[in-house]
Amino acid sequence: MAGRLKQLQPIILRCAHPHSFSTQPEVIQVTPKVSLFDQKVHIKVQGLPSKTKVTLHATTQQEWRRKPVEFKSCSHYVTSDDGDLDLNRDVSVGGTYTGLDPMGPFWSLKPSPAGPQNIRMVVRNGDEPVLYNLSVYLGHLSLRELVATDTQVKPVYTTTVTRLKKSADVRRIPVREGNVRGILFLPPGEGPHPGVIDMFGSAGGLMELRATLLASHGFAVLALPFFKYEDLPAKLEDVTFDYFEEAVSWFSSHSAVKDDGIGVVAVSTGAQFALLMAWMCPQTKAAIHINSPPFYCLYNLHWKGRLFRKGIILDLNFAVPTEEGLSIRDCFPHTTDSFIPVWESSAHVLVLQSDDDNQVDPKLADVLYNLYPDDKRHLLEVMHYPGAGHLLEPPYSPHCRYCVNPTFGMDFLWGGNPSDHAVAQEDSWNRILKFLKTHLS
């Protein structure tokens, strides 16, 4: 395929050489050229030959375990009679996604074929934008052909797209208050603002993307790590609930945060702490629980020097090894007595559950709903997402089906397929914003 394209390319370019398009002021138009990560963009390409096969290739470079890695996508189109391409109108007929989706080049990014595949695109520092290179090629090229060292096909056009993790007027403030560590993101204005604590899972460390975007939507947000960060515990089993109680107390009393209650958004292991905070910390009046068992698992949890929650221990006898990684969705033997009785509080809870999550049994979300007394069920909303996997992130983030979990040192199967996962991420993000605005206003 690549060899045939190398032969065809000069023939096509005699009619449509890049220099012959140079009268166009901007042949790849991205509107807006600089945008927030959760904002849709409109991509158009002008000045191409009519009714011609073209490939749109997107590339970004991020860090994985302190090493630079590339993520790439490609989508195949046929230009119009006028020789243009409009992703709001034109269907991708092949590549890393198919169908009509103007954001497909972003959410269908995957690890470069030239590098390891068991990695995840992790967006960390909230101050640094994510830069994407967009290139247009004549012909339909696969990712392997685009990165092959012997492929001499050159792009017709190229441009750079800037995606901001936060609005320019959002302030990023490192936090070292008592035992609490993290980053405080404050929207513009004196406030006070509705407050949200944002947490992630068993990989540990600090992730900022969701927190920065929430701050860009008007929330004061504490991105709260709980292990593997600065002087916090190195191991998850050494974390105590005292840390979260202290974080809620400090954050809810901050002068920039409204004093009538805060929200918590968390995924995976962090979501278990979110339910515990909603149950035990009266300042927490809204919690979003994303893809996690509604009970505490892996290790016993202590509070005030005593055993607080007996953890459901991971039983690998029920694990399912696959070529992509380990599925542990059935590895948590439990009873309903194990569930965190968050219904005893007055907190509103939103459960977002991916149905192809290979780390969490999706049926647990419905068991939680049935455990709520009838007079409390108005406080709980459960949303299921068919075809989505475990790592449900802000919209247009690339789907990760499997990767190595650094805490466990092995590949985990997260599940899902790219297109359904993309739909779930966009819908869940809108629900998160609406839920927080409703209950923290």
Q: Which residues contact 387 (CB under 8 A, 6 or more apart)?
A: 355, 356, 416, 417, 419, 420, 421, 423, 424
Residue tagged active-site, from 76, 193, 348, 390: 390
- How many CA atoms within 13 Å lie on the side-chain side of 402? 16
Return phi, psi of residue 367, to 5°: -60, -45
Q: Tokens 């989505």 label which residue?
A: 388
Q: Has 268 been annotated as catalytic? A: yes
CB 313 within 8 A of CB 237: no
Q: Has 357 been annotated as catalytic? A: yes
CB 407 within 8 A of CB 236: yes
| Of 434, 303, 266, 293, the residue nearest 368 (C-alpha) | 293
Alpha helices in 59-216 (DSSP H): 104-107, 143-147, 209-216
* CA atoms of 392 and 390, how far apart (whole Å): 6
* CA atoms of 7 and 13, how far apart (whole Å): 11
* CA atoms of 399 and 416, how far apart (whole Å): 8
Residue tagged active-site, from 38, 90, 101, 357: 357
* CA atoms of 94 and 80, how far apart (whole Å): 17
Cis status, amide bond into 18, omega within 30 of 0? no
Q: Has 338 been annotated as catalytic? A: no
Residue tagged active-site, from 108, 112, 252, 268: 268
Cis status, amide bond into 321, omega within 30 of 0? no
CB burial of 171-208 (b: ≥16 within 10 Å; e: otherwise) equals ebeebeeeebbbbbbbbeeebebbbbbbbbbbbbbbbb
* CA atoms of 128 and 163, how far apart (whole Å): 9
- The residues assigned a catalytic role are 268, 357, 390
